[in-house]
Structure 1
Amino acid sequence: MSEQSDPRRTLGADEVAEAAPPGWAHVPGRIRAVFATGDFATGLALVDRIGAAAEEADHHPDVVLTYPTVTVSLSSHDVGGITSRDLDLAHRISGYADEAGVSADPAAVTLVELGLDTWAGQEVQPFLAALLGGSADDREVVDPAGSYPTIWFQDAEEHETPRQRWHLDVWVHRDEARARVDAVLAAGGTLVDDSEAPSFWVLADAQGNRACVCSTEGRRGA
């Protein structure tokens, strides 16, 4: 078996970007696509085909069906990353969508994380996990059901003066990141720092509150 086809080897961000079907975005820990079905019946039929393929492959995605869209997320939880299994199933799902006349919209993929600037994340992590009914995982608080964003902790110097401590990390498809930044700037935002672009841009609103637009480009993994 070649290294590229090893179903248990986690793939880097560039490998995923090269091999993923059109419209699929690599965001932290998963690949995701939003299919614009336009109506419930088309979406339900697509979900049925996805379910059958997942059972056949014994590899199961997270699927969200709404009136106008089907959102699919794939990850190899047993190895903690993206593998060839995820890409293989993603290609099958995209094939089913093509047959239904449905396309994936990369601009519709957004994953939001909450970052807390703190000098002692371990002190507040158990509180937040208990408050939200989640689990403490490394330097994060994670909801296994995916109903609220992952919370992570960014090191900061201890301080008494109130300042912004929470910020949004907004993950988008790597091909859509620059457009999202431009939209924020057009809406009155300002660019604080682009030294790490295209991995992330630091932006601020009119009152100075900061947020980051993030992509997997330029990263070893996500």
Structure 2
Amino acid sequence: MSDATTDPKQKLTATEVREAPGLDDWRHLLTGIRARFRTGDFATGLALVDRIGAAAEAANHHPDISLTYPEVIVTLSSHDVGGITSRDLDLARTISGFAAEAGAEADTSGLTQLEPGLDSTAPERLGAFYAALFGGEVNDQGEPTDPSGQVPGLWFQKGESGESSLPPQDPAQRWHFDVWVPHDEGERRLQAVLDAGGRLVSDAEAPSFWVVEDAEGNRSCICTRLDRD
């Protein structure tokens, strides 16, 4: 066990997170580790959220939680270090225990985090506009964020003349989606896209990401945490 996996202030690598024991219910996406628990009804989900809240308060470490009729989705990260720490892993294991006791089945299939990307020659001019448009604020990197979690984050890819960061295309595409999936979901998600009529544009950076396009040539990326340490 490395020092990083026990030091509550040390940011973990994607490999350390992936290889940590006791996290079968969880997957590392863009900004945190995430789990989905199928509760089947609202009352069971609400009771699970209540237990998670109490444990979070006791640990002084608070997850993002989504409660809907059939499921509870929990995302953990350590904002003070900008990544995942042992605090997240410890609380994740505790939450998995609560879910098991409640009879809520963990389901890692379909876990997704969406990040729109915009190519720009001068992204520093755009952050405030999109923050105002989305009802959010500008972070330290000049990107618009929504602390309430209603709107996904937006990142800017700086190009020399506004060209797309995707493989060359005429006309150039400036907007695209980065769709973050679990490390063991990338190839399945790619196959689902292909089965739905999509086309693989490039797998040169796989398994870090695959570039795909729809029937009209609009491109997106399927992204994982693999090969990013």
| TM band (smaller chain) | over 0.9
Cα shift at 1:4: 2.8
Quick check: 2:4–2:12 contact (8 Å CA) kept in 1?
A: no
**Offset at 1:159?**
5.6
- Using the size of structure 1 for normalisation, the TM-score is 0.94
Q: Does 1:217 align with 2:217?
A: no
Corresponding residue for 1:144? 147
Q: Is the 8 A contact 2:37 2:72 kept in 1?
A: yes
By relative contact order (CA 8 Å, sep 6+), the higher-ranking structure is 1
Partner of 2:47: 45
Alignment-derived partner of residue 133 in structure 1: 135
Find the aligned partners of 1:186 and 1:78 in 2 and give their Cα distance: 41
Is 2:5–2:16's contact at 8 Å kept on the other side of the alignment? no
Which position in structure 1 is the counterpart of 2:17?
A: 16
Return the alpha-carbon distance in structure 2 between the equivalents of residues 39 and 9 of structure 1: 38
2:28–2:34 Cα contact (<8 Å) kept: yes
Counting matched residue pairs gives: 220
Match for 1:158 among 161, 174, 185?
A: 161
Where does 1:195-210 land on structure 2 (aligned, <5 Å)? Answer: 195-210=204-219
| Fraction of identical pairs, as percent | 58
Deviation per residue, 1:126-158 (Å, 9 max, x gap): 211122222222052211111111100112232
Of 71, 74, 77, which aligns to 1:75? 77
In structure 2, list runs of 5 or more residues that go unmatched. 164-169
Alignment RMSD (CA, Å):
1.7
Distance (Å, rounded) in 2 between the aligned partners of 1:203 and 1:166:
14
User: Partners of 1:156 and 1:144 in 2: how far apart?
Assistant: 28
- AA matched with 1:98: A
* C-alpha distance in structure 1 between counterparts of 2:146 and 2:173, whole Å: 24
Match of 2:58 in 1: 56
Distance of 2:192 and 2:13 partners within structure 1? 29
